[in-house]
Chain A
Amino acid sequence: MNIAGHVDKIRRLEDLRKRLNPDADFELWFWSTMTAGTNAVNAALHHAGITPEERAFPSQPGVYSVPAGPNAADFKSVLKTSGDVLHVGRPPIPGPIPDDIAEMMKAMEQIEHFRDPCTRGDMTIDAKVISTCGQAYEKCVGLLERRLSEKKQ
């Protein structure tokens, strides 16, 4: 996707995060957080010229849906070696990675650590989990904002 598309999704997901209760709605609050953070990493990777800014949407690592006509039904699956990640590490991005993006990825790994145990499994969701995810997210999007405002393409 392009940077503007990622940023639009981040803004809308942040709006939803504010309407959800991090405790009572943890699963969707978490999923909004993780999805917005992943969009931030993808936007930063495009900005750094590491992955292409294009309408190619990942379905699994290395497989992307790309437009082959004007309608949604016209999208087809293709293999690509580089593009948006589904999650940090899926697929891995070959280095070198700028320091700020490496920090963003590290923050996302902190969030991803809770994905399956807390949304698929029955790991106890407590204030520490919420705070860890919240702080990691703020760090991730803060670094994207800094990159987009300070480092011109």
Chain B
Amino acid sequence: MITAKHKEKALRIERSLAKCEARDYEIRIEAAMLAATHWVNGAYHALGVSAENNDILHTYMLTVNEYRRYAAANEHLIGKLAEIEDVRPLYVRGDVAGGEAIADRAVALLNDIRAIALGV
């Protein structure tokens, strides 16, 4: 998808995320993951690292070679997205306590990713 569409979609998800409350921590984490993935894809397209028809779905689905390539272009974009993804098993699919604080961290990572993407 083209960078402008990724941005549009990320902003749309972020508007909905703003309607979520602390108790909605599973979807706050998922929203951070979804919006961040759009920002990351848009940024890597803009940097010429990936083609517009080659979006990252999840970082853990990339080959090691691909991951290293993205990291070489900008390690923060891919690294922060991976950090959001890594909390999903325990807090979105699991019942580990402390989901509210983890969701806050995921949203903070999304904020970092957005700032980087807008600077590309």
The interface of chain A, by Cβ under 8 A from chain B, is 1-2, 5, 8-9, 12-13, 16, 19-20, 24-25, 27-29, 31-32, 35, 55, 57-60, 64-65, 72, 75, 84, 86, 116, 119-122
Contacts and interface: CB of A to CB of B under 8 A. Distances in A.
Main secondary structure of the interface of B (DSSP, over half): helix
16 contacts: A2-B95, A8-B95, A16-B20, A20-B16, A25-B15, A27-B31, A28-B30, A31-B27, A35-B27, A55-B94, A59-B60, A65-B90, A75-B89, A84-B93, A120-B55, A122-B9
A59 B88 CA distance: 8
Interface in B2-21: 5, 9, 12-13, 15-17, 19-20
B16 A25 contact: yes
A110 B26 CA distance: 22
A35 B30 contact: yes
Interface in B54-105: 55, 57, 60, 88-90, 92-98
Contacts of B92: 35
Interface of B: 1, 5, 9, 12-13, 15-17, 19-20, 23-24, 26-27, 30-31, 34, 37-38, 55, 57, 60, 88-90, 92-98
Contact of A31 (B34, B90, B93, B97): B34
B16 A27 contact: yes
Contacts of B98: 72
Nearest to A59: B89
Contacts of A72: 90, 96-98
Given A31-B30, A60-B60, A65-B94, 15 more contacts: A12-B26, A19-B19, A20-B16, A25-B16, A27-B16, A28-B13, A28-B16, A28-B20, A28-B31, A57-B96, A59-B89, A75-B89, A84-B93, A86-B93, A122-B9
